[in-house]
Amino acid sequence: MTRFSSLLASALILLLPVSSAGAAAPEPAALFEAKTVADRDSTLTALEAAPTDPASVYAAGAGQFFTALEILAGGLHRHGFESPQSFMLPLMRLPVPDNPNPEPLTYDGFRTILVAFRDRLEKSAATLGSVPAGADIGIEVDLTRLGIDLNEDGQIAPDESAAAIMASLSRGGAPDPAAPALTFRFDRADGYWLQGYAEFLMAQAGFWLAHDFKNAFDGSFHMLFPRAKLPLQDALVPPDGGMSGGMLSSEWRIADFISLVHLVNWPVVEPERRQAARRHLMEMI
């Protein structure tokens, strides 16, 4: 009996991978309705592992795009980012919540955030580009349920929804958790748009990474990370470190932005990234 039980257990173990491999992929729309990062990531992993139809591939590419934004937002939040709410710094407009206990940030650490963000976007663009041109895709998504984790708490809260974030970007200020319902039916054309936007954001991140901007980071980035222990924080950041509105409503941030402009003398350290940035812009067009 003992030998039989052992053989039976071994057989079941051998059969488990086969059963898992044959399991149906989740519905693509489920990816955009998750309320936790864990649920969202497990669904995305399943779609990436077994994209059996164009809709699954499309959803995986879109999910990779939104998780790229989450990588950027999480990295910024971790170090106490305060948005300048300025079109002059488009990568820095995400409405990241306040972090009362930010971690110190270094120049190399900031580059690491940009690399992770850019690489995830590249994966998204490649996945979206693999969807057949004539694919019949129609995924209804409620933008008040689709969201990203802005504060790294593992939850996708109402004020972190796509609808709330877009409303915040349009009017400034913190996202409103009571954003009205906003449902869209995403089709293949929307995939092209999302792919183009991924290329656009890759070009921006790649341009920064192509250059050595350490002097500008050390001399002016405390306007974005006022409590992240940058070199000039103690000398230039007011004790409260508050934003008090947009960039142009804060005298010390205006001064820091002027410093940033004067420190834009960045040597090229990774020329291949600058060439890639141009290609991404051409792909976007």
DSSP class per residue in 177-206 = TTPPP-EEEE-HHHHHHHHHHHHHHHHHHH
Sign of CA dihedral 165, 240, 114, 274: positive
Q: What is the DSSP letter of 141?
A: E
Q: 93 vs 49, which has greater pLDDT? A: 49
pLDDT at 285: 81
For residue 63, pLDDT over 90 is answered with: yes
User: Taking the domains of the chain in order of start, what are their residue ranges?
Assistant: 27-212+270-284
pTM for the structure as a whole: 0.85
Q: 117 vs 17, which has greater pLDDT? A: 117
What are 146-181's pLDDT values in tens digits? 999 999 999 999 999 999 988 888 776 667 666 677
Mean pLDDT for 37-54 is: 91
**Paired residues of 211 in beta bridges:** 268
What are 82-129's pLDDT values in tens digits? 877 665 666 677 889 999 999 999 999 999 999 999 999 999 999 999
Q: What's the mean per-residue pLDDT of the chain?
A: 85
Residue 51: band (very low, low, confident or very high) from pLDDT cuts 50, 70, 90 = low
Identify the three-state secondary structure at position 28: helix
Helix/strand number for the chain, H first, E second: 10, 2
pLDDT at 265: 93
